[in-house]
Amino acid sequence: MYIVFKLGRMYKQKKFFILFLNLFFVSEIFAFQVIVDQSNHQVYSAFDTGFAGLSQFSEIVYKNKGHVWQNYEPLEEVLPKIKSETLLILGVSLIHSYKKETIDAVENYVLKGGHLLVLLEHDNFFNNAKKQNQLIQRFGVKAYYGKAMAKERNWKKNIWPQAQSPLFNLNNIRLFLPAPLKYGKNNTALLKIMNPLNKAYNVVATINESQKGKVIVLGDMEILWNMQKDTGINFGDNKNFFTKMLSYLFPQRQEKKPKFNQGFKKNLFVYTCQNGMDLRDSLGGVTKFIKGINRLGYNVKYGCKAPKDSIVLITTPIKKLPQLDANHKFILVADGQSNDLKNKNFESILKNDLRLKINQKVYDYPLNKILRPYGLEINSSSLTPIKDPSFIMEAEIKGSPLILRRSAVISDISHKNDILGFSKKGYALEYVVPQYNDVNKIFEKKGDLKKYPFLIKNERVFLISDLELINNQFYHLPQAKIIENLIVKWL
């Protein structure tokens, strides 16, 4: 099952050059960055805590002193400016071909030392293998239009074959029907099925180290899904596989925290414990926003336990939050979510065919623990427009147009909160049905067609539905200053 994350339109903005200015300084602030590309109609989100989200992979990156951000701009414009140690992830998308200039930009990025992870799906699903082959053949790899299975009596072991990685010394990596790979010179097998049903289909991951940057091709997406303890990223040695991959790509790590003015009477506490965001100054970070609050006379502190009477900032949490003091005031920043388990066919496959015991409560969005006492809730869905099968939504605030990029869906359950901004009419999309190659048929737009709030506040909570409204990548746009001024009034 797929959550479609189409962000392929090119939205030119004035002062876009400011985006590039930040890239030159990234390597001095944090150890490395992982860019989960969303510029080509990609499917998955690094901040989605749902069943098929990638939030637990993001957690591994943070634990290893890296930082995750999601790129929405054309790669041929962004990649030439990157100077820091970087891993670019190109996942499954609904655009069935790359532009030549995009492939050229990725190849040059690798030549200059950028690392690349290309992810595939089995059986040329969504024409994914056909598309990715356009790129990976530049590096001597080609995906078969099939699936690798194990020769086992147990059906689950057949479709979740066990693989080994000699390079990382791991023997229990579990992939779901991975795409088999064919490779030539300069490549070596990174993952091999231990008991393959078809011996020609035994290689499901490769690594190319012939250039300054390394290229890894991995024939599976589900290995990155959150899923549950006996599947997805939690299955076997899967988490260890990605931990060792990051250590191999980035053996030396130095980071430097940004500095803030101190000595004020008031505090802004940035919650960095079990959280999807911290103080590293990447394009996906929020340090510009934090420095704006800092200039207003707030000390900046961070960690797991907020001082009394603090303003607490929590952005895109990827794990459950502990109980926080009800006397705090909160600035909360969400991002789009999903719930594939609402698809009855998919749920039936999981329960009846794979015999998985699914607990929907596990995937409840972490911010809801804070929001529900105030009559607010983040739904397990993302905003999508009326016509386009995408997560790019137009909105407006104070007469100024803006773009929402995979915005969360806010429900004002109590109808007692102050709504500050609405999107244009659209839908709250919970899941995507992967039964068609026609993009327009994939999106099952159900529920109400209406305008949705993306900024909402009450006495204790200021809630923002979309991280990209205030992150460093887009902070030069007018929307960020408008939101900052609204928060100043609320404080």
Write the pLDDT tens digit of every residue in 315-350: 988 887 876 777 789 999 999 999 888 878 888 888
Q: Which CATH class is domain 266-490?
A: alpha beta
Residue 144: its pLDDT value, please? 95
Residue 308: its pLDDT value, please? 82
Torsion of CA 145, 148, 151, 154, to 10 degrees: -110
Instruction: With a cut of 60, say whether residue 28 has pLDDT above it.
Output: no
For residue 247, what pLDDT band results from cuts at 50, 70 and 90?
Answer: very high
Query: Per-residue pLDDT averaged across 141-150, rounded?
Result: 95
List the domain boundaries for the chain.
86-249, 266-490
CATH pick for 86-249 out of 3.30.479.10, 3.40.50.880, 3.20.20.210, 3.10.20.30? 3.40.50.880
What percent of the chain is predicted at pLDDT more than 70?
87
For residue 13, what pLDDT band results from cuts at 50, 70 and 90?
Answer: very low
Mean pLDDT of the chain: 85
Write the pLDDT tens digit of every residue in 222-241: 999 999 888 999 999 999 99
- Report the DSSP pairing between strands 141-143 and 181-183: antiparallel
Query: Per-residue pLDDT averaged across 103-116, rounded?
Result: 97
Q: Between helices 238-249 and 55-63, what is the axis angle to 10°?
A: 50
Residue 3: its pLDDT value, please? 30
For residue 29, what pLDDT band results from cuts at 50, 70 and 90?
Answer: very low
Instruction: With a cut of 80, say whether residue 30 has pLDDT above it.
Output: no
Residue 9: its pLDDT value, please? 37
The answer to which of 48-57, 207-216, 352-361 has the lowest mean pLDDT is: 352-361
Residue 147: its pLDDT value, please? 94
Residue 454: its pLDDT value, please? 96
**Spatial contact of 474 and 463, defined as CB atoms under 8 Å apart:** no
Task: Give the Cα separation of 50 and 279 in Å (integer).
Answer: 25
The vertex-281 CA angle with 278 and 286, nearest 5°, equals: 60
Residue 48: its pLDDT value, please? 93
Assessment of whether the complete model's pTM goes beyond 0.85: yes
Task: Give the Cα separation of 190 and 217 in Å (integer).
Answer: 9
Instruction: With a cut of 70, say whether residue 408 has pLDDT above it.
Output: yes
- Exposure letters 12-27 (e unless 16+ CB within 10 A, then b): eeeeeeebeebbeebb
Query: Do the domains 86-249 and 266-490 sit in the same CATH topology, yes or no?
Result: yes
Write the pLDDT tens digit of every residue in 256-309: 667 889 999 899 999 887 665 657 677 778 999 999 999 999 999 888 888 888
